[in-house]
Chain A
Amino acid sequence: MSGHGSKPGTRAVGVLVPPAAWLTLLFLGPLGVIALISLMMPGAPVEWTIDGSAYQRLLDPIYLGVLWRSLSLAVMATVLCLVLGYPLAYYIARRPPRFRRVLFFLVLVPLWTNSLVLIYGWMVMLRPNGAFDQLLQGLGFGGGEPLTILYTPAAVILGLVYWYLPFMVYPLYASIEKLDFRLLEAARDLGAGGLAVLVRVLLPLTLPGIATGCLLVFVEALGAFVVPDLLGGAKSMMLGNLVQQRFLSVPQDWPMGAAAAMLMLALLLVGMLWASRVGGLRRGA
């Protein structure tokens, strides 16, 4: 019975069976069902005949509009997260170890607590005569008219940046923390200015973190459902809302919703390949 003589690999297989079976059933199973539905003919809600027309209909102007809006909102949110998150990650990584852990924890908390509630906090602030409005009016801005940010694409971007900022900071921090900061000093000693150090040394060296962070934020933002639902108006529908409507609202069209979900997965895969290439290039250089 002793583990001494047995091959270490064999016992590992036994332990892995239950969790692997669990996720095969409850993770791969659902993805398989979605893939299957996406190939079916539309019906009420689905006709079990394979025809693939749902993917064709993704090219309809209405759906292309939703796709375009999702892509552009997600790109803007990603860029803003990077601009906001990079200084933050760098700042945390340069604190003494004890502060570092506390600060990092403070970044992760909003991600792991109830984001729905926090988005509600933004609704309260952004609504006409809300906290922001009163602040602006009090400072003499706004010209006495109520604020109209809530239920616009601007509010959606703000919410996306808020919700997904920790997704950006996490990989950036991991990348920056491993950095040999003497390289920055060396560059400075050799006469490089602040901007040159940033563009020629710091950013290239932390590229894997940047790539991973951008990928995570972009993919998650693309599939966002709560933020556009609560902060956006009728004209801010994104892919996530499209999926929800095609499955749950009348008229139902499951193949359409499933095709939109598959599109998200495809974009995720493309993004992952891109991120691993960007990460890999640096190691090869």
Chain B
Amino acid sequence: MALDARAASRWLRLASWLAFGFLYLPVAVLVIFSFSASRYSMVWSGFTLQWYAALADNARVLSALMNSLIVAGGAMLISAVLGTAAALGLRRARFSGRGVLAALFYAPVVIPEIVLAIGLLMFFVLVMPVPLGLPSITLAHSVFGVAYVTIVVSARLEGFDAQLEEAAADLGATPWRVFLRVTLPLIWPGVLGGALLAFTLSFDDFVISYFVTGPGTATLPLVIYSMVKRGVTPEINALATLILLVSFAILALSIWLQGRNITAGEKV
């Protein structure tokens, strides 16, 4: 069975575009039918914006949106500060427990979400009395947020020239001043990129919010879940389209920031 190289590459291209099609099929369906006038079936029956208009009047969706923004904003701030500190510390750390510590910062990314979710709920109920609702969801989201920011900023620091910091310190700058005037200007795209990632991950999180929320508090994904469970309304399509659009934009910005060259185009 001698596949020649040309045929192999044709198969490869076909398989890849099929995989992309698979990934984006549900996106296409949601977007297209958010503009369809038909209420009950998947039949296209004319263009409409009525589902988007209905969303703007839906008080439950709007208050959930507000909740999601508060939670994602809070989790983003905590994650950005602590994750950046972790990445800076791990870069300099030379002590023996460094590997274990690094594992602690990466572990929240690998662990099955549901284990973390139920663990946090039990922790908030039995050990640390945090009110279940926006405070508990924000704290819970900061756990994976810190991990993601640590990873993103660490990647940014790989090309970092530590001599710049040493030079500034030799010239008499205090450590805090070195951080503000030298380190931060060099790594801020990584910090911002990581922060934006933490924001979207929090904004889109369902599993952890589902477990640690309290009665009467819903974020946007929780509202979507209950809409999906109850049955079909084309409003979900419109809501899904908007969420995908916003997530896509923030992620594109985040990736673009992370990819910016560490030396070029930035004033120190």
Contacts and interface: CB of A to CB of B under 8 A. Distances in A.
Nearest to B86: A19
Contacts of A8: 92, 94
Interface in B84-100: 85-86, 88-95
Interface stretch (A49-57, A59-67, A214-222, A276-284): A214-222
Contact of A113 (B123, B173, B204): B204
B178 interface: yes
Nearest to A264: B112
Contacts of A123: 228
A188 B85 contact: no
Nearest to B14: A87
B101 A112 contact: no
B115 to A, nearest CB: 5
B104 interface: yes
Contacts of B120: 26, 30
Given A13-B89, A134-B42, A23 B146 contact: yes
Interface of B: 1-5, 8, 11-13, 15-16, 19-20, 22-27, 29-30, 33, 41-43, 78, 82-83, 85-86, 88-95, 101, 104-105, 107-108, 110-116, 118-123, 126-128, 139-140, 142-143, 146-147, 150, 165-166, 169-170, 172-175, 178, 197, 200-201, 204, 206-207, 211, 221, 224-225, 228, 232, 236-237, 239-240, 243-244, 247-248, 251-252, 255, 259
Interface of A: 1-4, 8-9, 11-16, 18-20, 22-31, 33-34, 37, 84-85, 87-88, 90-92, 101, 105-110, 112-125, 129-131, 134, 162, 165, 188, 193-195, 216, 219-220, 222-223, 225-226, 230, 240, 243-244, 247-248, 254, 257-258, 261, 264-265, 268, 272
B88 A15 contact: yes
Contacts of A109: 247-248, 251
A1 B172 CA distance: 8
Given A9-B95, A26-B139, A125-B29, 11 more contacts: A20-B104, A23-B146, A28-B104, A33-B126, A113-B243, A113-B251, A134-B43, A194-B1, A223-B112, A265-B111, A265-B115
B204 A88 contact: no
Nearest to A267: B112
Nearest to A265: B115
Contacts of B197: 112
A2 B13 contact: no
Contacts of A257: 118
A34 B94 contact: no
Contacts of A101: 255, 259
A29 B128 CA distance: 10
A55 B242 CA distance: 45
Contacts of A25: 128
B233 to A, nearest CB: 11
Contact of B107 (A26, A27, A87): A27
- Most chain A beta-carbon neighbours within 10 Å: one of B123, B147, B252: B123
Contacts of B108: 23, 27
A231 to B, nearest CB: 11
Contacts of B123: 26, 29-30, 33
A59 B212 CA distance: 29
A1 to B, nearest CB: 5
Pairs of residues from A and B, 3 with the lowest C-beta to C-beta distance, nearest first: A121-B26, A223-B112, A30-B119
Nearest to B29: A121
A18 B116 contact: no
13 contacts: A1-B174, A3-B175, A12-B92, A27-B107, A27-B108, A30-B116, A33-B122, A91-B15, A110-B23, A110-B24, A119-B26, A121-B25, A220-B112
Contacts of B240: 114, 117, 120-121
A20 B101 CA distance: 8
Given A116-B224, A230-B228, A165 B19 contact: yes
Contacts of B118: 34, 243-244, 247, 257-258, 261
Nearest to B16: A91
Contacts of B82: 18-19, 22
Contacts of B122: 30, 33-34, 37, 247, 254, 258
B146 A22 contact: yes
Contacts of A272: 110
Nearest to B109: A216
A188 B74 CA distance: 55
A16 B224 contact: no
Contacts of A105: 251-252, 255
**Which of A4, A121, A244 has the most chain B CB atoms closer than 10 A to its own CB?**
A121
